[in-house]
């Protein structure tokens, strides 16, 4: 799922050209790699395979030489990432959707426009590991929209407590093994293994304070329940926030609407707006709003004062395989290139 988003995000890209793809076996090209044994296609996006990607050669990881390319994007399982990504990073910057490197002290967990100041930590990673490249993972797709919506509140008012309930899409589980259709039809599955721990740990790292020695986790009390819903793409989350500094709803809306780190930017994959705040109480909805900003804008709605925690509550929708995975990793690479951190 994330790999197909990489393919879409990198098609006709002004900064990056896809010259090779790597999988478990050598094939003629990407078009052939998409074919199942019965001749059906593995491509499941709602737009055709980009024409400039069909003839890209596909080789096995045993034949691949990382030093022959400038940048590597990986969409592989974490166990395989632990083996391959350190090899790639010896010579080449590697942007990953896997969790293998998210929790190391020398590895920043970046969301472009949220915690860009953490990016310099990759220099520590390179020094300590003796790498010319680096491994830079994007966060778990569930925490991405949450961190984006909390960022303006955290900066302006401070945050004491966060409670969140997610209703996560099927694409977040991948295609194979994915979620069984007879389990999810007419149903919500109330537990996703390991997901809640990832959200808690990663949010505190993303919003933490950076120094040259590492990242001090944010001091926020957070708890969550993560569920799987019968939705194809787009994670929906209900969020309750306790603020350190009390504020009225108008001031909170002003902080959210004023948070737009891409306003004067020139990053190819960045949306015009980081957050779209709806006044309509029936929005956001994943089917209607997941593609805002090319799938890179996080939608918020149902913003109301929250008396129990002393803050606000709201609903968000974030595209889990675009901003939360493949396209978000491409945006991160664009940001690192613009900041002069991609090489050297």
Q: Give the 3-state DSSP-derived string for 208-273, with helices as H, strands as E and coil as C.
A: CEEECCEEECCCCEEEEEEEEECCCCCEEEEEEEEECCCCCHHHHHHHHHCCCCCCCCCCCCCCCC
Q: Which of 341, 268, 262 is nearest to 13 (CA)?
A: 268
Residue 270 makes CB contacts below 8 A (sequence gap 6+) with 112, 113, 262, 296, 331, 334
CA atoms within 13 A on the CB side of 236: 19
Q: What does the alpha-carbon distance between residue 111 and residue 324 come to, in Å, rounded to a whole number?
A: 9
- Give the Cβ contact number of residue 125 at 10 Å: 20
Q: Which of 277, 285, 280, 269 is nearest to 317 (CA)?
A: 285
Query: What is Dmax (Cα atoms) for the chain?
Result: 61
Q: Which of 340, 332, 333 is nearest to 112 (CA)?
A: 332
Is 224 considered catalytic here?
A: no
Q: Which of 79, 114, 113, 108 is nearest to 95 (CA)?
A: 108
The token pair that represents 192 in the structure block: 């996703």
Q: What does the alpha-carbon distance between residue 131 and residue 262 come to, in Å, rounded to a whole number?
A: 31
Judged by phi (left if over 0) then psi (alpha if -120 to 50, else beta), residue 293 lies in left
User: Of the listed 118, 141, 224, 276, which one is catalytic?
Assistant: 141
Residue with tokens 């988003």: 5
**CA separation, residue 25 to residues 22, 74, 315 (Å):** 8, 16, 43
Is 235 considered catalytic here?
A: yes
**CA separation, residue 120 to residues 91, 115, 134, 158, 186 (Å):** 18, 11, 11, 24, 47
User: Of the listed 118, 226, 235, 319, which one is catalytic?
Assistant: 235
Active site residues: 141, 235
């Amino acid at each position: 799922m994330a790999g197909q988003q990489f393919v879409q995000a990198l098609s006709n890209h002004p900064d990056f050209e896809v010259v090779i793809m790597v999988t478990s076996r050598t094939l003629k090209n990407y078009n052939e790699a998409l074919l199942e044994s019965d001749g059906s296609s593995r491509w499941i996006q709602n737009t055709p395979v980009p024409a400039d990607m069909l003839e890209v050669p596909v080789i096995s990881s045993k034949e691949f030489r990382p030093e022959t390319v400038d940048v590597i994007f990986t969409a592989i399982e974490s166990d395989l990432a632990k083996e391959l990504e350190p090899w790639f990073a010896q010579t080449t910057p590697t942007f990953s959707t896997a969790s293998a490197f998210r929790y190391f002290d020398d590895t920043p967990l970046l969301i472009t426009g949220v915690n860009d100041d953490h990016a310099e930590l990759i220099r520590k990673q390179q020094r300590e590991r003796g790498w010319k490249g680096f491994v830079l993972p994007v966060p778990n797709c569930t925490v991405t929209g949450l961190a984006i919506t909390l960022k303006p509140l955290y900066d302006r008012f401070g945050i004491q407590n966060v409670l969140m309930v997610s209703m996560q899409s099927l694409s977040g589980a991948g295609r194979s093994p994915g979620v069984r259709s007879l389990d999810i039809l007419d149903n919500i599955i109330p537990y996703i293994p390991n997901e809640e721990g990832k959200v808690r740990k990663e949010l505190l790292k993303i919003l933490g304070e950076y120094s040259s020695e590492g990242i001090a986790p944010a001091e926020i009390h957070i708890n969550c329940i993560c569920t799987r819903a019968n939705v194809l793409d787009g994670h929906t989350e209900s969020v309750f926030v306790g603020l350190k500094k009390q504020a009225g709803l108008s001031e909170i809306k002003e902080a959210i609407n004023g948070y737009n780190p891409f306003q004067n930017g020139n990053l190819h994959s960045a949306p015009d707006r980081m957050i779209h705040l709806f006044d309509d109480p029936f929005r956001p909805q994943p089917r209607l709003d997941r593609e805002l900003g090319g799938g890179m804008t996080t939608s918020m709605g149902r913003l109301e004062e929250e008396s129990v925690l002393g803050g606000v509550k709201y609903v968000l929708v974030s595209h889990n395989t675009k901003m939360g995975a493949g396209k978000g990793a491409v945006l991160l690479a664009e940001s690192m290139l613009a900041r002069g951190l991609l090489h050297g």
